[in-house]
Amino acid sequence: MIKLILKGVMMGVANIIPGVSGGTMAVSMGIYDKIIHAATHLVSEFKKSMKLLLPIVLGMALGIVVLARILEYMFARVPLQTNLLFIGLIIGGLPAITKKVKGKTIRGGHILVCLLFFGVVAGLAMVGEQEGAAADLSFNMINIIKLFGVGIVASATMVIPGVSGSMMLMLMGYYNPILNEVNDFIDNLVQFNVPGILDGCKVLVPFGIGVVVGIFAIAKIIEIIFEKFPDHAYWAIIGLIVASPVAIFFMGSMGTITIISVLTGAVALLLGILIALKLGEE
CB of 150 within 8 A of CB of 207? yes
The sign of the torsion formed by the CA atoms of 166, 168, 169, 170 equals: positive
For residue range 5-59, list pLDDT tens digits in order.
Answer: 888 888 887 777 665 677 777 877 778 888 888 888 888 888 888 998 899 988 8
Range of the domain at 139: 2-279
Q: Spell out a b/e string for 123-143, using b for 16 or more CB atoms within 10 Å of the CB, else e.
A: ebbeebeebeeebebeeeeeb
User: What's 129's DSSP letter?
Assistant: S
d(CA 1, CA 18): 28
Q: How confident is the model at residue 201 (pLDDT cuts 50, 70, 90)?
A: very high
Q: What is the structure's pLDDT at 164?
A: 65
Give the whole-number percent of the chain exceeding pLDDT 70: 86
Give the whole-number percent of the chain exceeding pLDDT 90: 12
Per-chain mean pLDDT for the chain: 81
Q: How many domains does the chain have?
A: 1
Q: What is the structure's pLDDT at 117?
A: 84
- Quick one: which H or E segment has residue 245? helix 230-251
Who has greater pLDDT, 155 or 84?
A: 84
Q: Spell out a b/e string for 145-178, using b for 16 or more CB atoms within 10 Å of the CB, else e.
A: ebbbbbbbbbbbbbbbbbbbbbbbbbbbebbebb
Q: What is the structure's pLDDT at 135?
A: 65
Least confident of 114-123, 171-180, 239-248: 171-180
Q: What is the structure's pLDDT at 71?
A: 72
Contacts of 114 (CB under 8 A, 6+ apart): 235, 236, 238, 239, 242
For residue range 89-147, list pLDDT tens digits in order.
Answer: 778 877 877 887 888 888 899 999 999 988 877 776 676 544 445 567 788 888 899 89
Q: What is the structure's pLDDT at 207?
A: 92
- Statement: residue 171 has pLDDT above 90: no
Residues in the chain: 282
User: What's 42's DSSP letter?
Assistant: T
Q: What is the structure's pLDDT at 63?
A: 80
R_g of the chain, CA atoms, integer Å: 19
Q: What is the structure's pLDDT at 257?
A: 87
71-75, 134-138, 146-150, range with greatest mean pLDDT: 146-150
Q: What is the structure's pLDDT at 131?
A: 46
Question: Which phi and psi angles does 88 have, rounded to 5°?
Answer: -65, -40
Q: How confident is the model at residue 169 (pLDDT cuts 50, 70, 90)?
A: confident
